[in-house]
A and B are shown apart, each in its own frame.
Chain A
Amino acid sequence: MRTLACLSLALALGCAHSPPPAQAPSPPPPVAAPTPPPSADAAAARFIPPDAKPAFEIPVDAYTLANGLKVVLSRDTTAPIVTVAVYYHIGLRIEPRNRTGFAHLFEHMMFQGSENLGKLAFIQLVQRNGGILNGSTRFDFTNYFEVIPSNVLDTVLWAEADRMRGLKVTQENLTNQQGVVKSEVRVNVLNRPYGGWPWLTVPQLANKNWYNAHNFYGDLTDLDAATLQDVEKFFKTYYAPNNAVLVVSGSFDPAQVKPLVSRYFDSIPRADVPPIPDLTEPPQTEEQWKAVDDKLAQRPALAVAYHMPPRGSPEFWAMALIQQILVAGPDSRLYQELVQKRGLTGEVGGGANLLGNQFNYQGPMLWMAYVFHDASHNPKEIVSAMDAAIEPLRQAPVDAATLERARVKARSAYYADLETMFGFGRADLLAAHALFDGDAGAVNRIEPSLLAVTPELIQRTAQEWLRPTNRTVVALQPAGGK
């Protein structure tokens, strides 16, 4: 079909097309003592031999400035372009209870003016020098990135440092962006059939911890309530160099880039960043069934969501392979069962972290599979078909051919992640591993870790994590009046 814009039903947080979408959390009322996330380093070291090498190795030069800013350089001279990405370790989960959607709203404010660049000046600086830019708010980070001709690197590093140093936001600009963000929520959620399905809807139903279970896009009244003080406080709390990573990847001169980074970023003062609140989800012991009404939808939809094992654990890597086996592409078992064999739907979507990929979150996380179907098939029938695809993984180790295909697909998908958006994807993975694992070079352990997953580990992982009692089933019902 031929519509102008490709209107994906699986629309993720609508940051892709137009510049700054943002969802900003306000300073977290830090909750009780957080359990530190399991160290991926330690888990990876347990899981793969220390000298394991990927087939495609990414150069990584990582260091930390005195103010705590992590810097990652990764050279690739395929094209005369370079990505600059700044990731702040503050995601959309962590926002005050009366300010839902603030993390994202705040992201928008990062485009509204800094010390030396007025409103729109940052965007013009990038676009009118031949580059593209965006920001996005995700579960565990907020990012700002530019893909630019290599001659603009100096300019853009300066500009990113300028807004890390301080914002200059007026009430007028805040009011304007409250309007823009409310428009964003309307176009992506309120005025759209399946709006927020399943990425925004399902976490609210499957999770118990408020941080993981609130409306990340924000209630319109909460968005309206945000003040300039909230903006300032949030910036001071989270947007510090010691809570961030700067990635430069692509075509650059290694001898020039480090002095530039020092010149612009060295003098930005560090800040005391509060600990991340307790984000843990209580272990789930009973299957949950939930229903939601959608007054704009014409066909029902259904999602199942399982809690994921912790980042970096052997089971985490097994889930990456399971994703390939169950839900990635038309050879996958869910596709074959639901589409090809039973004709219940035309496609099956899903995987871990629908706002990103398998590797760029810290957790907790859900693993989902979802379909759009006709009213002639009821939710129980759909779930029963899903079980017919999933249960065999829990009953016996996968055969060699299935494992080999999953490995090839996982490798290929990882390469595709690296290449997303003109190579921005490489910067994204480097930043995620620097932020969450304290080691950008852990990117080069992705391939060997995927290859180290055994049929036995897959079965054990499926037994524990793909338990029906570890899942939430959400059925979306069309509820239109006409």
Chain B
Amino acid sequence: MSRTVLAVALLATGLATAAETPPAPGPTPPFELPATTAFTLKNGLKVTLVPYGAVPKTDVSLALQLGNADEAANQTGLADLMGKLLLQGTTKRSAVQVAEAAAGLGGELQANVRSDQTSLDIECLGDSTVDAIRLVAEVARTPAFPTAELARLRGDLQREVAIERSQQQPLAEELFFRAIYGNHPYGRVLPVAAEVDRFTLEQAKALWTRFAGANRAHLYVVGRFDPAAVRAAVEEAFGGWGKAKGTPRPKPAPRAARKVLLLDRPDAVQSTVRLGLPAISPTSPDYIPLVVTDVLLGGIFSSRITTNIREKHGYTYSPRSVIAVHPGVGTWVETADVTTKDTAAAVREIVNEIERLRKEPPGDEELAGVRKYVAGNFVLRNSTRAGIVIQLRFVDLHGLPANWLRTYVQRVEAVTPADVTRVMRKYIDPQRMTLVVVGDRKVVGDSLKQFGPVKVEASR
């Protein structure tokens, strides 16, 4: 049904400019999510196996309920230091031995620390899957946390922080999320040098010990492997892993407020802009309509905001709107780096596009195309090993129902123009948005006053 509508839309586009029209797409091919096998070990470790793909490789990912969100107020970045320390060897093997073992499997072991989760990840050759699982288990269960490496790794973290803080985009995000989440860990985006200096080995180790255990972990194995051998290896390697207590996280209380925050970067040739507000998390029934709406508004190249500020006005190169979520909460934010002199004009155009979509529903054809993009993109995201891991982790992190992925496309296809208007009016209200600009104050400062009283922020 929607295909017919789309073909008509394309025909119209073609007729407007030209003699020949594109051939209409055929019927959408059937897409089945790859089959998964899930089981739980006695100690609580959840395991999901997904035999998948043609290329002889496997992704192994051990995801833990442990992240930057578990850092204390004066410990921003401690989890990042912990992640670095995890790769410094085990009680049985040195760092170089671990690195060489991983390389011998065709992979590289990584400790990826995120806000809500930390994962130990390795992408290996398929016939090395069992050994990769053993290696991940060894690092998870018996990390050495060697004192000798602390000063070096703290120095590395300091350097990374200094480099992050020399870029406008991370600074803009720090301001934006602090405005939304306050002093909740979700509002503390970048570590602070003086705090990093005081991190101790004991603190990093304690973070790991408190939060890392079988009952707080989920192992994903996706790729080309022998499921029976892998299951046996998982039971053997992880069966004896103990549990961890954890600590409940502080509950985030996102705040919407009309604010204009400016961080001065004298002589910057571009301004980094963030404009957004708290929205919803994936558990909300409005989440899928909001995802579709976001794509139409600013999420992709052919979206309204991008068409306007890039293709019409040439203010910017890669603007994009994003729904950034944590369990239970989320934000919608438009991101752009715009030519300094055009800063206020670009913000004005972004607001105009938001207001237009709040007033009038999108046309059927435009929305049908966007639904198709979201559905097609879902197929792409579930067609690679790494993509499959990310999708499964997302469902588990947010505690979504088991059929969430399976029903995703049909829920996307059900989004109507009226839904778009409804979620725009309910969630994407420019009157409640925080505007962050990192740029040249002497050029942009006055022009931002049209959006509200400008608060000039000090750099940290």
| Residue pair B25, A154 in contact (C-beta under 8 Å) | yes
| Residue pair A2, B189 in contact (C-beta under 8 Å) | yes
Contact of A131 among B13, B18, B80, B376 (CB under 8 A): B376
| Residue pair A128, B369 in contact (C-beta under 8 Å) | yes
Residues on B with beta carbons closer than 8 Å to the beta carbon of A415: 55-57, 125
Residues on A with beta carbons closer than 8 Å to the beta carbon of B375: 130
| Residue pair B26, A154 in contact (C-beta under 8 Å) | yes
Of B199-207, B280-288, B333-341, B421-429, the one contacting chain A is: B333-341
Contact A408:B269 (CB < 8 A) given known A116-B19, A415-B57:
no
Residues on A with beta carbons closer than 8 Å to the beta carbon of B96: 331, 336, 340
| Residue pair B167, A192 in contact (C-beta under 8 Å) | yes
| Residue pair B17, A117 in contact (C-beta under 8 Å) | yes
User: Does B380 sit at the interface, judged by CB under 8 A?
Assistant: yes
Contact A5:B337 (CB < 8 A) given known A151-B26, A191-B268:
no
Of B318-326, B350-358, B441-449, the one contacting chain A is: B318-326
Contact A179:B315 (CB < 8 A) given known A124-B302, A331-B100, A415-B55:
yes
CA distance A21 to B316 in the complex (A): 12
| Residue pair B380, A147 in contact (C-beta under 8 Å) | yes
Residues on A with beta carbons closer than 8 Å to the beta carbon of B153: 346
| Residue pair A155, B25 in contact (C-beta under 8 Å) | yes
Contact of B373 among A7, A130, A147 (CB under 8 A): A130
| Residue pair B22, A125 in contact (C-beta under 8 Å) | yes
CA distance A364 to B191 in the complex (A): 42
Of B42-50, B107-115, B250-258, the one contacting chain A is: B107-115
Within the complex, the shortest CB–CB distance from A377 to chain B, in Å, comes to: 11
Within the complex, the shortest CB–CB distance from B398 to chain A, in Å, comes to: 17
Interface size on B, residues (CB 8 A): 110
Residues on B with beta carbons closer than 8 Å to the beta carbon of A80: 29-31, 379
Within the complex, the shortest CB–CB distance from A327 to chain B, in Å, comes to: 12
Residues on B with beta carbons closer than 8 Å to the beta carbon of A184: 317-318
User: Does A378 sit at the interface, judged by CB under 8 A?
Assistant: no
Of B212-220, B234-242, B306-314, the one contacting chain A is: B306-314
Residues on B with beta carbons closer than 8 Å to the beta carbon of A18: 301, 306, 317-320
Which B-chain residue is minimally distant from A149 (CB atoms)? Answer: B376
Contact A2:B114 (CB < 8 A) given known A183-B317, A405-B104:
yes
Of A305-313, A386-394, A416-424, the one contacting chain B is: A416-424
User: Does B14 sit at the interface, judged by CB under 8 A?
Assistant: yes
User: Does B432 sit at the interface, judged by CB under 8 A?
Assistant: no
Contact of A124 among B13, B317, B382 (CB under 8 A): B13
Within the complex, the shortest CB–CB distance from B380 to chain A, in Å, comes to: 5
| Residue pair A1, B191 in contact (C-beta under 8 Å) | yes
CA distance A296 to B171 in the complex (A): 14
User: Does B27 sit at the interface, judged by CB under 8 A?
Assistant: yes
Within the complex, the shortest CB–CB distance from B390 to chain A, in Å, comes to: 13
Contact of B57 among A79, A251, A412 (CB under 8 A): A412
| Residue pair A183, B338 in contact (C-beta under 8 Å) | yes
| Residue pair B159, A191 in contact (C-beta under 8 Å) | no
User: Does A374 sit at the interface, judged by CB under 8 A?
Assistant: yes
Contact A79:B379 (CB < 8 A) given known A191-B337, A331-B99, A331-B100:
yes
Contact of B103 among A2, A331, A374 (CB under 8 A): A331
Residues on A with beta carbons closer than 8 Å to the beta carbon of B369: 124, 127-129
CA distance A151 to B380 in the complex (A): 14
Within the complex, the shortest CB–CB distance from B266 to chain A, in Å, comes to: 8
Of A92-100, A170-178, A431-439, the one contacting chain B is: A170-178
Residues on A with beta carbons closer than 8 Å to the beta carbon of B301: 18-19, 123, 127
| Residue pair B163, A299 in contact (C-beta under 8 Å) | yes
| Residue pair A180, B28 in contact (C-beta under 8 Å) | no
User: Does A47 sit at the interface, judged by CB under 8 A?
Assistant: no
CA distance A124 to B367 in the complex (A): 12
Contact of B152 among A176, A330, A343 (CB under 8 A): A343
Residues on A with beta carbons closer than 8 Å to the beta carbon of B368: 128
Which B-chain residue is minimally distant from A420 (CB atoms)? Answer: B384
Contact A128:B302 (CB < 8 A) given known A18-B318, A191-B337, A329-B103:
yes
Residues on A with beta carbons closer than 8 Å to the beta carbon of B191: 1
User: Does B458 sit at the interface, judged by CB under 8 A?
Assistant: no
| Residue pair B99, A330 in contact (C-beta under 8 Å) | yes
User: Does A158 sit at the interface, judged by CB under 8 A?
Assistant: yes
User: Does A320 sit at the interface, judged by CB under 8 A?
Assistant: no
Q: Considering the complex, which residues of chain B in the window 47-94 have a beta carbon less than 8 Å from any beta carbon of chain A?
A: 52-57, 68, 77, 80, 87
| Residue pair A78, B53 in contact (C-beta under 8 Å) | yes
User: Does B166 sit at the interface, judged by CB under 8 A?
Assistant: yes
CA distance A162 to B13 in the complex (A): 15
Residues on A with beta carbons closer than 8 Å to the beta carbon of B56: 55-56, 415
| Residue pair B106, A149 in contact (C-beta under 8 Å) | no
Which A-chain residue is minimally distant from B80 (CB atoms)? Answer: A1
CA distance A193 to B102 in the complex (A): 33
Residues on B with beta carbons closer than 8 Å to the beta carbon of A55: 56
CA distance A7 to B379 in the complex (A): 26
CA distance A331 to B333 in the complex (A): 39
User: Does B372 sit at the interface, judged by CB under 8 A?
Assistant: yes
Which among B156, B315, B318, B319 has the highest number of chain A CB atoms within 10 Å?
Answer: B318
| Residue pair B314, A129 in contact (C-beta under 8 Å) | no
CA distance A423 to B333 in the complex (A): 30
Residues on A with beta carbons closer than 8 Å to the beta carbon of B397: none
CA distance A404 to B106 in the complex (A): 11
Within the complex, the shortest CB–CB distance from A58 to chain B, in Å, comes to: 10
CA distance A416 to B364 in the complex (A): 40
| Residue pair A187, B318 in contact (C-beta under 8 Å) | yes
CA distance A251 to B380 in the complex (A): 13
| Residue pair B307, A120 in contact (C-beta under 8 Å) | yes
Residues on A with beta carbons closer than 8 Å to the beta carbon of B55: 56, 415, 418-419
| Residue pair B29, A150 in contact (C-beta under 8 Å) | yes
**Chain B proximity mask over A73-111: 1 for CB below 8 Å, otherwise 0:** 000101111000000000000000000000000000000
Contact A130:B376 (CB < 8 A) given known A116-B21, A186-B339:
yes
Within the complex, the shortest CB–CB distance from A319 to chain B, in Å, comes to: 18
User: Does A167 sit at the interface, judged by CB under 8 A?
Assistant: no
User: Does B300 sit at the interface, judged by CB under 8 A?
Assistant: yes
CA distance A109 to B192 in the complex (A): 44
| Residue pair B125, A159 in contact (C-beta under 8 Å) | no
Q: List 6 A-B contacts (CB under 8 A).
A: A14-B318, A121-B14, A149-B28, A158-B22, A180-B311, A409-B103
Known A154-B23, A372-B159, A404-B104; 10 more pairs at CB < 8 Å: A4-B322, A7-B167, A18-B301, A78-B52, A154-B26, A158-B23, A178-B314, A180-B317, A187-B318, A192-B167
A-B complex: 5 closest residue pairs judged by Cβ atoms: A130-B376, A179-B314, A128-B369, A412-B106, A346-B156
